[in-house]
Chain A
Amino acid sequence: MSAPSTLSPRLSLGRILLFVSLGLFALFFLTPLYVMLATSFKTMDEIREGTLLSLPASPSFAAWATAWSSACTGTDCGGLKPFFMNSVMMVIPAVLTSTLIGALNGYVLSKWKFKGSEFMFALLLFGVFMPMQVVLLPMSQVLGWLGIASSVWGLILVHVIAGIPSTTLFFRNYYVGLPDELIKAAMLDGANFWQIFWRIVLPLSTPILVVTLIWQFTNIWNDFLYGVVFSGADSKPITVGLNNLANTSSSVKEYNVDMAAAMIAALPTLFVYIVAGKYFVRGLTAGAVKG
């Protein structure tokens, strides 16, 4: 919307240059994906003989099938399927909970400020910078005390806590842009704290909800470190499965299966970005960007 409107739509030299550079960037961004896809459709012989960028001679889904349902990851040879399901079961509650908490925190921090709330927000923000590795051991200990070590619940809890600073940040910055008058009008209309949140504020949060959900979903889905450390034997997420499949130090590598597995692990997040990417930018425009 902001682009100057007199820019002539005819193909000028500048326009051609523009498209060429956009195209080159697109190539750069797409190459890794292409390499993965192409490799996943090749046979092992073709991978050994051919080059990285060549198209698969006779594309086959064999590697995908293997990766999905029969590749061995440890003593189980059920492919990535169970891991994928574990991830789904873990990601959904973790994303929803952290988003909801972020929304509530943002609501309070923007519309019900109290003494020291800004300071607390700053303290919370600093948490974003904590290296993940620092968390591992003490968190294990705490989860042990709570009795939810090595379980999905422990993992969900960790993801929720780790997500709170960023979800709070997103929602607060968005809600700051909502007119205070709306809240005041609702108060005059007789709504209480919760009614205002559920009936007025939350229904207005769609853009930022999309941003936060995408952000949290990507982060939690792609997480490996917490997943490997805090999950139990039967609740390992997909990244751990992928890692187990692809990352062996002393055995024969099947790169086509590895790549197919990587693609399978990436599909949900890719799907989300492709389908909801538009809303992502739109949501950012709607307010998440502001300092």
Chain B
Amino acid sequence: GEVEVLHWWTAGGEAKAAAALKATLQAKGHTWKDFAVAGGGGDSAMTVLKSRVVSGNAPAAAQIKGPSLQEWAREGVLANMDDVAKAEKWDESLPKVVSDIMKYKGNYIAAPVNVHRVNWLWANPEAFKKAGAKVPTNWDEFFVAAEALKKAGITPVAHGGQNWQDFTTFEAVALGVGGVEFYKKALVQLDPATLNSPTMENVLSTFKKVKSYTDKNAPGRDWNLATAMVIKGEAGMQIMGDWAKGEFIAAGKAPGKDFVCAPAPGTAKSFTFNVDSFALFKLKNDANVKAQKDLATAIMSPEFQELFNLNKGSIPVRLGMKMDKFDDCAKTSSADFVATAKTGALVPSIAHGMAVPSAAEGAIKDAVSQFWNTDKMTPKDAMAKIVAAAKTK
């Protein structure tokens, strides 16, 4: 059969990872049709996907994640993968928070690929040493360190321009300042009371305070250029998901020695996840359905999970994997993933489309980003906007 896979892993390590999947499928005698569309964190890919579905010509699998899976399933275009899941024991090998996302009305409709931890703080030890600061573990320490870095003539926080970067920082602050319960209520359930609470106000003012430690050229900067500032020691730290690691490695830096990966301040005991997954579409041709199921199986296979995540810098979504080949950051990440899955401190990342439907996410992102970028806006104003945005359906 033939599998056509729509994804936006088009370059670098991601592309290598996708190539691994392709090889796996080809080994099973299927043809792989690559449908890669990069750009805007999948915006273009979504556009293509929609028109493909509308034209009655859906791909076998498409990179969709989070609550969007539910939206697609609701349109009745996704296939039921329960037989594969049962055979491969997906229920057992996935944390419930994750498997819930992969299911619509109790049936599997998607296969998860990896987990990104979003709440990381990347730091340059050299810079910290120069400033005489230590890597912060909570927000108070964060600002102390930032102040020290600033005094030393180093940009304390490297930041970039896209609104998802603002949002990523925001969710880290929310988790660190408000804690797991607050995060779940406010940013997963979108509870208006919580969104309108003093805690929220506190979160927002802390968030805004971070901005004062970024440089003024941040807007318009790509995230990886921000990372480069940390690498070069021009900046002290960056709040960014684990994909930033790839930049350090590519620059020939070693984890622990040349750079530090630490949980974002105040979030050591929790984990914001960003799970990439493939939604599986209803197909007409039986041979292709067979290939599609093999794809699903392959995605969840331990071999692929290892290979893929080694390339991508994330960690396997499958529990109980051996992590010897992974680096220290990944190992930490993996351990925390397993631990938080048990404690319930494993929370979906709102900034990366895991927590709420895309319309609400977008609206909240707009509000947060506006607050970040508009100096005269007060936390109270922002709160009102976020509450309103959260009502978007």
Contacts and interface: CB of A to CB of B under 8 A. Distances in A.
A140 B8 contact: no
Interface string B263-294: 00000000000000000000000000000000
A181 interface: no
Interface string B9-48: 1111111101101100000000011111111111010011
Interface stretch (A182-190, A247-255, A263-271): A247-255
29 contacts: A72-B12, A72-B15, A73-B15, A73-B38, A74-B9, A75-B19, A75-B36, A136-B51, A137-B51, A137-B54, A140-B50, A140-B55, A144-B56, A149-B55, A225-B47, A228-B37, A233-B4, A233-B33, A233-B34, A233-B35, A243-B44, A244-B10, A244-B38, A244-B39, A247-B39, A248-B12, A250-B241, A250-B243, A251-B13
A253 B224 contact: yes
A251 B55 contact: no
Contact of A137 (B42, B50, B246, B247): B50
A252 B55 contact: no
Contact of A72 (B16, B39, B232): B16
B52 interface: yes
A71 to B, nearest CB: 8
Given A228-B48, A249-B40, A250-B243, 10 more contacts: A75-B15, A75-B22, A75-B32, A144-B55, A149-B56, A230-B51, A248-B14, A250-B241, A252-B12, A252-B224
B84 interface: no
Interface in B223-253: 224, 228, 232, 241, 243, 246-247, 250
Which 9 pairs of residues, A with B, have the shortest CB-CB distance?
A74-B36, A144-B55, A251-B12, A140-B51, A149-B55, A250-B243, A244-B10, A140-B55, A247-B39
B52 A243 contact: no
A78 to B, nearest CB: 11
A230 to B, nearest CB: 7
Contacts of A74: 7, 9-10, 15, 18, 34-36
A162 B240 CA distance: 42
Task: State the majority secondary structure of interface residues on B.
Answer: helix
B50 A75 contact: no
A245 interface: yes
A136 B49 CA distance: 11
A244 B47 contact: no
B235 to A, nearest CB: 14
Given A48-B228, A244-B38, A251-B246, A144 B54 contact: yes
- Residue of B38, B42, B57 with most chain A CB atoms under a 10 A cut-off: B38
A20 interface: no
Chain A interface bracket (under 10, 10 to 19, 20 to 34, 35 or more): 35 or more
A48 B33 contact: no
A245 B50 contact: no
A143 interface: yes
Interface of B: 4, 7-16, 18-19, 21-22, 32-42, 44, 47-48, 50-52, 54-57, 222, 224, 228, 232, 241, 243, 246-247, 250
Contact of B222 (A73, A139, A253): A253
A240 interface: yes
A250 B240 CA distance: 11
A243 B51 CA distance: 19
A216 interface: no
Interface in A29-68: 48
B56 A136 contact: no
B55 A244 contact: no
A252 B13 contact: yes
Given A140-B55, A229-B51, A77 B250 contact: no
B69 to A, nearest CB: 19
Contacts of A75: 15, 18-19, 21-22, 32, 34, 36
A229 B222 contact: no
Nearest to A143: B55
Contact of B243 (A136, A247, A251): A251
A141 B13 CA distance: 35
A213 B40 CA distance: 32
A68 B303 CA distance: 33
Interface string A176-218: 0000000000000000000000000000000000000000000
A248 B10 contact: yes
A141 B55 contact: yes
B63 to A, nearest CB: 12
Contact of A249 (B4, B8, B21, B22): B8
Contacts of B250: 252
Contacts of B41: 249
Contacts of B44: 228, 243
Nearest to B249: A252
Contacts of B241: 250
B48 A73 contact: no
Given A137-B54, A144-B57, A72 B11 contact: yes
A248 B57 contact: no
Contact of A73 (B10, B228, B246, B247): B10
Given A48-B232, A229-B48, A252 B247 contact: yes
Nearest to B314: A250
A48 B39 CA distance: 23
Contacts of A71: 11
A244 B54 contact: no
A149 B11 contact: no
Contacts of B4: 233
A71 B232 CA distance: 26
B55 A136 contact: no
Contacts of A228: 37, 44, 47-48
Contacts of B16: 72
A63 B332 CA distance: 36
